Amino acid sequence: MSLKDLLPEGTFDEIAADAHLDAKAQAHLKDETREDGVLCVRCPNCGKKVKYSPDNPFRPFCSERCRLLDLGAWANEERTVPGNAVNADEDADLLNDPALPRR
């Protein structure tokens, strides 16, 4: 049973499209299988097939190295979550608001 089987029909494809997943990430989600009753997934960083169980402290990654490389990519803003644009001037205008309490 894969993640796709657990979701309502069509939901998996919508989630994958909405998340703007790259080909490697989509392969990671589609390649879920079970070996000896344990869910197996592909490491999001290197693509190696790993068991997704409490026995793997780095899950869903295959190793601490892959986990740290992924964390570093987020820290360097190589990966981001899409959101609304932030207007830097908007916060500056709020600081000059006379209705705000002063310390």
Q: Does residue 102 belong to any structural domain of this protein?
A: no
Which of 23, 66, 75, 59 minimizes the C-alpha distance to 45?
A: 66
Q: What's residue 63's pLDDT?
A: 93
Question: What are residue 86's DSSP bridge partners?
Answer: none
Q: What's residue 54's pLDDT?
A: 87
The per-residue pLDDT for range 14-34, each reduced to its tens digit, is 666 655 555 555 555 555 566
Q: Does residue 100 belong to any structural domain of this protein?
A: no
Q: Does residue 79 belong to any structural domain of this protein?
A: yes
> Which residues in the chain come in under a pLDDT of 50?
none
Q: What's residue 53's pLDDT?
A: 85
With 0-12 / 13-18 / 19 or more C-beta atoms within 10 angstroms meaning exposed / middle / buried, residue 74 is exposed
Range of the domain at 64: 3-95
Task: Give me the amino acid identity at 79.
Answer: R
Element (H or E) spanning 93, and its range? Answer: helix 88-95
- Count of domains forming the chain: 1
Q: Does residue 101 belong to any structural domain of this protein?
A: no
Q: What predicted TM-score, i.e. pTM, was given to this entire model? A: 0.49
Instruction: Give the residue carrying structure tokens 């205008």.
Output: 93
Q: Does residue 36 belong to any structural domain of this protein?
A: yes
DSSP state letter for 62: S
Q: What's residue 37's pLDDT?
A: 72
**Extended beta strands in the chain, E state:** 33-35, 38-42, 49-51
* Distance in angstroms (rounded) separating the CA atoms of residues 30 and 15: 12
Q: Output the domain CATH number for residue 29.
A: 3.30.50.10
